[in-house]
Structure 1
Amino acid sequence: MTKLLCTAYFLISLIGFSQTEVYSVKNIEMNTEYPHFGLMLVNNSKIIFTSYLLDNKGRLKRFQGNPVLSIFEGELFENGSIKNIKNIEIAPDEKIKYITSATLSPDSKKLYLTTTTSDDFSEDNFQIKVGAFKEGEGWIHFETLPFCNPKYSYAHPAISIDGKTLYFTSNIRGGKETTKGGSDIFMVNILDDNTFSEPKNLGSKVNSYSKEMFPFISADNTLYFASNRPNGFGGFDIYKSKMIADGAFEKAEKLPKPINSFQDDFCLVIDSANNSGYFSSKRDGGKGDDDIYYFILN
């Protein structure tokens, strides 16, 4: 009888826990054995993500023996499904063969992306470039952002909903804005004449002596990002930090399970109502390398 009561209590505890979780999470149908990451929302109706480029027979396209990472766009439907997926076409003359993440300006007229500075896929030095769309040609006229120093890496661009601030990760060294860890989150102001302010480190309430990656700024100015700092659940975890009145950010806090897991969790994006969104994870039970998960607020 004692064993039976203990079993019943355990089951009741599980039921109670599931009802008190803040988020419900599910692996979406589009995932495959290949990685899917670098998520960025477009007007709450589409999503940009990074994955391997496939040929007409579903085989990996390769360049110099390495799988080609490219960016894709998909439409969002009910229950979190992503459909009508297509490759975002970069004009061949741009010679951009390796893209790790990208974002659109709010008016969809500019595409910011992270790419290497050479054709050497082992090169650690990334840069952020911006291009414009031309009908019939795709995205063209890419230029490296003027504040990108070739000595350092710049990656994972994310733009505020008003289009006035660009967030990104970097390993800038030296001076007041030096990187604390392996990579920090920085911001620049996007000025009216298509120029940019100097990069500003978001400071110790956001950044740590570990790596910060994949920032996303929500409609209510909450910054979401991934970090592998100590005291996480495991690997990279997703954190959030709310912007306060003076433009600074509050101390970052780790999101609870089931958003975070014992494996890598990153690239969280959330809709303008703060009700639902997506993130990437390498958690147990997935379909492939990094899967996209849909979450909704309970």
Structure 2
Amino acid sequence: MKQIRYYQIITAFCCLLLISCGIDKNLKKGEKFLSLGEYYDAADQFKQAYTKTPPKERENRGKLALKMARCYNKINSTPKAVNAYRNAIRYNQASLDDRLAYARLLLKNGEYKQAEKEFKILVDSMPDNILAQNGLKSAQMAPGWKKGGSRYQVKKMDVFTSRRADYSPMLLGDEYEQIYFTSTRNDAQGDELSGITGTKAGDIFYSEKDDKGKWSRPEAIATGLNTNYDEGACCFTPDGKEMYLTQCVTDPASPRFAQIVTSSRSDAAWGKVQKLEITQDTLSTYAHPAISPDGEWLYFVSDMPGGMGGYDIWRVRITPSGLGGVENLGSPINTPGDEMFPTFRPNGDLYFSSNGHIGMGGLDIYIARIDEKTQQYKIEHPGYPLNSEADDFGMTFEGPHNRGFFSSNRKDGRGYDHIYSFNNPEIVTTMKGWVYEKDGYELPAAQVMVVGNDGTYRKLPVKSDGSFTLPIHPEVDYLVMASCKGFLNHKEELRIDSAKESKEYVLQFPLASISAPVLIDNIFYDFDKATLTPASTQALDKLVALLKENSHVTIELSAHCDYKGNSEYNKRLSQRRAQSVVDYLIAHGIEKDRLTPVGYGKERPKAIRRKLTEKYPWLKEDDVLTQDFILKQTREHQEICNQLNRRTEFKVLRTTYKLF
């Protein structure tokens, strides 16, 4: 019997030794994963060590529970993090900072009453801690926000939803018919699961809306932009030609630091990314890029030194020669908590997410608007249901309207993010303009300057279709100038009345070339005479305004006839007609020495440009409407050709009048 008892003791001892070795092995692995930022794998190892640790070893179990809680917190596994923190507190292993993290997670889990109790204890112990103070106010105010609601309408977008994370949507396209977002779904590149999240590394996915408003099945961008690394949280320059995005490169020997990279679009395809060097600091995170509506500033998130705590929102100026110095946005936007996912509404309002301000729990969306008097930001919480107790972030807007998409992990126990639509019906007044070559196509290289008597001063690029859109204010006078290299400027004035409903003001900016003749539409003369008819007044007044806007330009004003009739007679008639137009311009304030009238008669038949072939498909670009060409056409087409030849044009001669 003694021998049996001896073997039992030896066996128990060996089992305890094996368990101890197993715990040590789990701990070493867990610490290694933790040092690399692989929180999912670290949590798994700490959990195994915790289950192997006997209940009587309260201190060790408490320490392991604390490690688990911190890892679960990092990967948004909120219910698991809450339970682990409770165990750490029960075993008296949680510091005040851990208790604060626990209270903040109770908010995120929607346990507002319990969170309020915890925050009251923390405020007594940490009276100067802003996060504790704001947490207590959040626990007290959140139930009221949830009960009161708001005008926002929110709906989950099942068409974009996968079994993993889908987040940070961003709209693109002239009609906002394209959407880009990040996803860790199984269709993402690579075969390995991330030790950080337990899912595949994120890729940028794309979907397009058809004419009936139906979104296509999302597909990963397959042109070299995505890699086996994490790509996510993208944004675009105002012209849509450049993408900025976050990339996390894997390094098995060191922690992961996110960086911002760029990709250029060529022939509708996105190229391989290039790293954007914001500072020389290689030990800080740079993520969540956002481009200001004027294209002059890059906003981003970083934990670099000089911030207010956690992640802060910073910005850096974009110049033709590169990036300028970085600036921290400071208070009231940044807090000791995390401020992340900045984005802009086209009217200039900055939207961002934070867990440091008073909110409903987790990351809440906030609106930062510039106060016109103080020129300081004012922060607004848009309430429920745009915000929830979970993480809400990553806004994108459908043009000037207060509608679009965002991401949230609400109602997902595993913490995965999904994409939701939002809509907040409101009165929106917008200005939409089109910049194009007179008698030609759109000018995407143009730039628009908008000045308002309310202090507005905006410089806007135009989109690929030559358009621009700007939210504007009622009862304001605007002056809008469009310019493009190689063309004369064009100005429009706009007076906005008080608005009782949404309205869009549409402006046209036909720019005159300085290197090619420009047709003056709707110039009419009496039959066989040089007398201008009253119907010509509107077109001539526009020419007067154009010449006054471009006061350093001299022009040749030419009149042309068709091939019919005597050449000398036609030339004299066209000369008198050109002089009639010049006389009108002089009478309306244009200097005589800026104008040269020339009558060409039928010497210079019209050369067809590509734009005109859209109206007359039987004509080809570079066709010249000579008599021989016209006589080969049908009788109907002959008359059209003759009408095209009977024209009044101007051509820029100099652009330096009275400059020197």
Same fold (TM over 0.5): yes
Q: Unpaired runs of 5+ in structure 1? A: 1-16
Question: Which structure ranks higher in relative contact order (CA pairs < 8 Å, sequence separation ≥ 6)?
Answer: 1
The CA deviation string for residues 203-236 of structure 1, in whole angstroms up to 9 with x for no partner, is: 1111111001100011111111111115311111
Corresponding position of 1:251: 378
Alignment map for 1:95-134 (pairs within 5 Å): 97-120=229-252, 123-134=255-266
Shift of 1:39: 2.1
Alignment map for 1:15-164 (pairs within 5 Å): 21-30=150-159, 31-43=161-173, 44-55=176-187, 61-63=190-192, 67-76=200-209, 82-91=215-224, 97-120=229-252, 123-134=255-266, 138-140=270-272, 142-147=274-279, 149-164=281-296
Confirm whether residue 264 of structure 1 aligns to residue 391 of structure 2.
yes
Q: Unpaired runs of 5+ in structure 2? A: 1-146, 426-660
Counterpart of 1:87, as a letter, is: A
Q: What secondary structure sits across from 2:384 in the alignment?
A: coil
Query: How far apart are the structure 2 equivalents of 1:138 and 1:157?
Result: 17
Counterpart of 1:32, as a letter, is: S
Distance 1:77 1:63, change over 3 A: same
Confirm whether residue 183 of structure 1 aligns to residue 311 of structure 2.
yes
Query: How far apart are the structure 1 equivalents of 2:387 and 2:253?
Result: 30
Counterpart of 1:23, as a letter, is: Y
Shift of 1:80: 8.1
Query: How far apart are the structure 2 equivalents of 1:285 and 1:222?
Result: 30
Confirm whether residue 242 of structure 1 aligns to residue 369 of structure 2.
yes
Counterpart of 1:115, as a letter, is: Q
Distance 1:78 1:281, change over 3 A: farther
Instruction: Name which one, 1 or 2, has greater alpha-carbon Rg.
Output: 2
Confirm whether residue 224 of structure 1 aligns to residue 336 of structure 2.
no
Shift of 1:97: 2.0
Counterpart of 2:169, as a letter, is: L
Contact 1:80 1:294 in 2 (8 A): no
The CA deviation string for residues 159-192 of structure 1, in whole angstroms up to 9 with x for no partner, is: 122221111101110xxxx111210111111112
The CA deviation string for residues 98-147 of structure 1, in whole angstroms up to 9 with x for no partner, is: 11321222222222111124444983411111232345974125133343
Corresponding position of 1:10: none
Counterpart of 1:140, as a letter, is: K
Contact 2:164 2:185 in 1 (8 A): no
Query: How far apart are the structure 1 equivalents of 2:400 and 2:259?
Result: 32
Corresponding position of 1:199: 326
Shift of 1:45: 2.7
Counterpart of 1:233, as a letter, is: M
Query: How far apart are the structure 2 equivalents of 1:29 and 1:287?
Result: 17
Alignment TM-score, normalising by the size of structure 1: 0.79
- Which protein has the bigger strand share? 1
RMSD: 3.2
Counterpart of 2:336, as a letter, is: Y
Distance 1:104 1:172, change over 3 A: same
Q: What secondary structure sits across from 1:190 in the alignment?
A: strand
Query: How far apart are the structure 2 equivalents of 1:293 and 1:256?
Result: 16
